[in-house]
Amino acid sequence: MLKRGSRLDADFIREVSDVIKMLGHADRIRMVEYIREEERSVNQISDWCGLSQPVTSQHLRLMKDKGVLSCRREGTKMFYSLPNPLVHKMLDCLATTQEDMMRR
C-alpha cells in the first residue's frame, strides 16, 4: 500500500530493507558481486575473498536464509548463485555510483 506522497510500496520497502541489511557487510557485497554472473562453490568464494571457509559459509548461509542467494549441493560441495533480481539491480546501482564518483 502506497502512502500519500510516497512512491514506494510498504511491502517493497520491507523487502529492500531486508536485502540491504544482508548486504550491510563489505565481505557479503564482495561475495554477491563475485557470484553474480556464475554459480560458485564455497571454496571458490572463500579463496577469492581471502576468508576462511567457515566464515565464508556463515555469510553465505545467512544470505541464503534471507533469500538473497540460492544454493545447491553436489556431493559434498555447496554451490551458490544469485537469482534475486533486486540484488542484481542494487549491484548495478553501486557500480554506476562508483563510476560517477570516479569521474569527479
Kindly report, residue by residue over 26-49, the tens digit of the pLDDT.
999 999 999 999 999 999 999 999
pLDDT of residue 28: 96
CATH of the domain at 65: 1.10.10.10
Q: What is the pLDDT of residues 89-103, one digit of tens each?
A: 989 898 898 898 999
Strands 70-74 and 77-81: antiparallel
In a domain, 1, yes or no: no
Number of domains in the chain: 1
In a domain, 4, yes or no: no
Give residue 99's domain range. 10-103
In a domain, 24, yes or no: yes
In a domain, 2, yes or no: no
DSSP letter at 23? T
In a domain, 75, yes or no: yes
In a domain, 40, yes or no: yes
| Spatial distance between the Cα atoms of 35 and 91, rounded to a whole number of angstroms | 12
Residue 83: band (very low, low, confident or very high) from pLDDT cuts 50, 70, 90: very high
How wide is the angle at C-alpha 30 spanned by C-alphas 90 and 14, nearest 5°? 35
- pTM summary value: 0.82
Cell numbers linked to 67: 533469500
Q: What is the pLDDT of residues 7-20, one digit of tens each?
A: 888 888 888 888 89
